């Protein structure tokens, strides 16, 4: 069975009891809607571990949950700042999505070529597959540095915006079996 990262947020001013109550309500609701086994829902967590950790960026908080959440274990709760993304950051995010789309499209062409090869029961790799592989590799080689640079710029913009914020939310989550 696989697993998926599942999260929810609660107001940053909530008490530990309020956090626990909202978490339990979500578990109960998910259990009712999705069942309790292999659903990828909150009903699979075995309790809640509330930490004193606070991150500036949501992505850093999600990384912590991803690294420390255990499948079939308790959900993890920690805080992160909330802020509005400046327009420049949003523009970088749009550009980043376009770059990811280029890689996805090249991968789709490669998958289609390989599927065509399988459908035609080809035992040797035809030239169109080799060409698609080379094209995909070239796209990744040229686009990946641009993706990395956009991500760096977005994180820099996020850090500046987060430094100005005093508002927090609780991030609650972990790995759920699916």
Q: pLDDT for 132-147, tens place per residue?
A: 999 999 999 999 999 9
3 state DSSP class of 125:
coil
77, 67, 85: which is closest to 9 by C-alpha? 77
Residues 61 and 24 in one domain: yes
**Residue 95, pLDDT score:** 97
- Token readout for 96 is 């980043």
Quick one: what percent of the chain has pLDDT higher than 90? 75
156, 141, 174, 163: which is closest to 64 by C-alpha? 174
For 137-165, what is the mean pLDDT? 96
- H or E element in which residue 52 lies: strand 48-55
Residues 13 and 37 in one domain: yes
- Token readout for 79 is 């805080």
> What average pLDDT does the chain have?
91
Residues 73 and 117 in one domain: no
Residue 65's domain comprises 3-83+167-177
Residues 43 and 63 in one domain: yes
- Token readout for 163 is 């430094």
For 64-89, what is the mean pLDDT? 92
- pLDDT at residue 36 tops 60: no
Q: How many domains does the chain have?
A: 2
């Amino acid at each position: 069975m696989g697993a998926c990262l599942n999260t929810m947020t609660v107001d940053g001013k909530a008490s530990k009891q309020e956090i626990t109550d909202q978490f339990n309500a979500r578990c109960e609701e998910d259990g009712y809607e999705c069942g309790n086994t292999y659903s990828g829902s909150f009903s699979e967590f075995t309790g809640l571990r509330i930490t004193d950790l606070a991150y500036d960026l949501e992505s850093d908080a999600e990384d912590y949950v991803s690294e420390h959440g255990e499948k079939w274990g308790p959900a993890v709760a920690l805080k992160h700042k909330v802020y509005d993304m400046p327009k420049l950051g949003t523009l970088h995010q749009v550009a980043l999505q376009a770059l990811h789309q280029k890689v996805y499209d090249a991968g789709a062409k490669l998958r289609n070529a390989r599927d065509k090869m399988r459908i035609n029961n080809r035992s040797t790799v035809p030239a169109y597959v080799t060409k698609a592989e080379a094209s995909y590799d070239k796209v990744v080689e040229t686009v990946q540095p641009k993706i990395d640079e956009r991500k760096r710029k977005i994180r820099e913009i996020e850090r500046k915006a987060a430094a100005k914020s005093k508002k927090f939310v609780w991030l609650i989550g972990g790995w759920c079996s699916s």
